[in-house]
Amino acid sequence: MTDSITRITGNGGETHQHAGDDDAVLTTNHGVPISDNQNSLKSGERGPTLLEDFVLREKIFHFDHERIPERIVHARGSGAHGVFEATDDISDLTRAAVFTKGEKTEVFVRFSTVAGGAGSVDTPRDVRGFAVKFYTREGNWDLVGNNIPVFFIQDAIKFPDLVHAVKMEADRGYPQAGSAHDTFWDWASLMPESTHMLMWAMSDRTLPRSFRTMEGFGVHTFKLVNAEGKASFVKFHWKPKLGLQSTIWDEALKLQAADNDYQRRDLFEAIDTGAFPEWELGIQVFDQAFADAQPYDVLDATKLIPEEDVPVRIIGRMTLNRNVDNFFAETEQVAFLPTNIVPGIDFSNDPLLQGRLFSYLDTQKSRLGTTNFHQIPINAPRCPFGNFQRDGMMQTQVPKGRANYEPNSLAAHGEEGGPRESPVRGFATANAATGPDETGDKLRIRAERFADHYSQARLFYRSQTENEQAHIASSFVFELSKVGLLDQVPPRMVANLRNVDEDLAKRVADGLGIDLPPKAEAAREPVDMNPSEALSIHRNMKETLEGRAVGILIADGTDAAALDAVIAAVDGAKGKPVIVAPKVGGATLSDGSTRKADGQLAGTPSQLFDAVAVVLSDEGCKTLLKEGAAVQWVMDAFGHLKAIGASDAAQPLLDKAGVEADDGVTGLDDGFVEAAARRFYDREPKVRMLA
């Protein structure tokens, strides 16, 4: 690339880089010059993406087949079986049988990280996949989403570029499973449309405490279609029963050191012990009039619809109640496809969704080696299915007779004729238009309202608590500080952030030690939207111990009655008490009994718990004062803003660990269990410097 490259902003605010006369020209694999590498070909400004777009198809096709057999993204996953029950009557909105009130449908869910390979770890700062396969009586429906309601890009043609930028760098093969490096931020700083997603990615949403305490979203705008053919727009939301909960950055780093499989283990053990994870399924439903009245485009995957504007209506409940029998056969071989929809649910013209409809089906052929991947048990529908598709690699069915085509008249001659189409029961695409610009010339273009890349990023940032805003600013500082020789990238990113919030940009610039750059020119000036409490983790955390673990540190001489009282109190609050001792064999208590430990101190750090209790005698505390792991155990619990309950005799250990008195530091009475249900974010300025 030479200085003759020109940078142009498209009508949707996207960055185009045009070759000069002497520069290499981007082409297809067959040498055809490409005029636009930013937009797929659509039928009109907001119309569907066209199959004839050979540039899009070749780019996605090649990307889908880059690696075999591991998933290119979402490679590290955890799966479980369960059941979905429809709890509300929405027959006025959709004919889908899965939403018949009282209907119970078997499901398989796969949670995953995005950037890392299958051998990476559970706890990096990353988006989490949240994919649900519903085995409905009308066929499989796959709701393939994430734990964040928006995405980095507006058009599927940019997906290979996004993933290439965020994955390990091509020349060195690292870093693994993280975005804090040159190529990602170089790309992101040149893609203003990614700004809203970057706010989410730099927030605590990408550091979930567990799969059980994160939300899920369908991301795209879909349609619900009722029996009369009336279509409504819909967005899907999963709300965890246990509420939202996240870790903080330092805690996530130490969790990785303690247990690479922390979230995978948490899910498996919760189901194994009968603490079945639950989510409510909610929908935001709206019509074309609402869509037209918004300052953003509802078909833009980088935008969300604030819950204050369209409240989430709860229509069902999902419970995960069975672990997989074999990880490879189920979790690894499960194939999710956005094209798997059932009558009563339909697609919109979201250009990111339209590209996914091609990409996923093509990917499964590469990963699983056969067009018959749907016959693998985890992918097979639970309802009867049949067609005239035959043969192929790894065919496991044995169709009988001559009927492998239709129409045919074999049944009239006494032979089996096979299945036939059904206009009444079959899937039919909703024919309602999605806006006045759906038809028109074939264009590589984005709708005008797609050009606003900052309003919703500003909405997200200003909806956070002060602590959450500090975490976002600090995350940008950390990630951008990892950018090496590309010294133009951090100022370019901060210039973009000035369109989000001036204070945020200043904090990031100060944290990086650079001058505040001029504000980047916005393709469309951002507007102020009302803050949304639904976007904050801290405002939506439930003060409960249910489903959460409490570490209880003991040593020789620990008061037996006090220990039993703490265990009983945690059990009573539906928490999980976990005893930690210097030796896994346990400790000799004050009454002479021996209490076995659930974990050894050196290998069971406090990062594994949501709160801690330190139940020590004078002699036990004296011993642990000389044990660095014990001091670190308490220090980290305090630093990670957790409740600490302690016996009077344990005070010297707390003092050595730097614990200062606050509402989260209690005795072992009822106040501890009450405090253990929350975190104490007002403590954070005492323990670390944030941007």
Residue 78 backbone phi and psi in degrees, to 5:
-135, 130
| Nearest alpha-carbon partner for 234 in 246, 248, 224 | 224
Single-letter amino acid, residue 459: L
Neighbouring-strand partners of residue 82? 107, 320
- Please name the residue that has the structure tokens 């976990």: 578
DSSP SS3 for 628: helix
Of the residues 74, 181, 220, 640, which is catalytic? 74
130-133: long-range contacts, CB 8 A cutoff, minimum separation 24: 130/214, 130/216, 130/217, 130/238, 131/74, 131/336, 132/84, 132/107, 132/108, 132/216, 132/238, 132/318, 133/107, 133/108, 133/109, 133/334, 133/336, 133/340, 133/379
Q: What is the DSSP letter of 332?
A: I
- How many Å apart are CA 494 and CA 486, to the nearest integer? 14
Q: Give the CA dihedral 284, 288, 294, 295, nearest 10 degrees.
A: 130
Q: Quick one: tokens of 384?
A: 């009867």
The string of DSSP codes covering 116-156 is S-TTS-S-SS--EEEEEEEEEBTEEEEEEEESSSS-S-SSG
Q: Are 442 and 55 in contact (CB under 8 A)?
A: no
- How many Å apart are CA 85 and CA 566, to the nearest integer? 37
Q: Quick one: tokens of 316?
A: 């069902």
In this structure, the number of other CB atoms found within 10 A of the CB of residue 265 comes to 16
| Nearest alpha-carbon partner for 69 in 260, 335, 354, 337 | 335
Task: Specify whether 146 is catalytic.
Answer: yes
Q: Are 468 and 204 in contact (CB under 8 A)?
A: yes
Residue 64 backbone phi and psi in degrees, to 5:
-60, -25
- How many Å apart are CA 639 and CA 248, to the nearest integer? 10
Q: Quick one: tokens of 308?
A: 């204050």
Segment (H or E) for 317: strand 313-323
Q: Give the CA dihedral 20, 21, 23, 24, nearest 10 degrees.
A: 110
In 379-443, DSSP assigns E strands to 442-443
Segment (H or E) for 345: strand 345-346
Task: Specify whether 496 is catalytic.
Answer: no
For 508, how many CA atoms within 13 A lie in the half-sphere containing its CB? 30
- Please name the residue that has the structure tokens 């969300």: 304
Segment (H or E) for 644: strand 643-646
Single-letter amino acid, residue 160: P
Q: Quick one: tokens of 604?
A: 């069971």
Segment (H or E) for 278: strand 278-286
Of the residues 146, 340, 372, 499, which is catalytic? 146
- How many Å apart are CA 573 and CA 547, to the nearest integer? 10
Question: Catalytic residues, which ones?
Answer: 74, 146
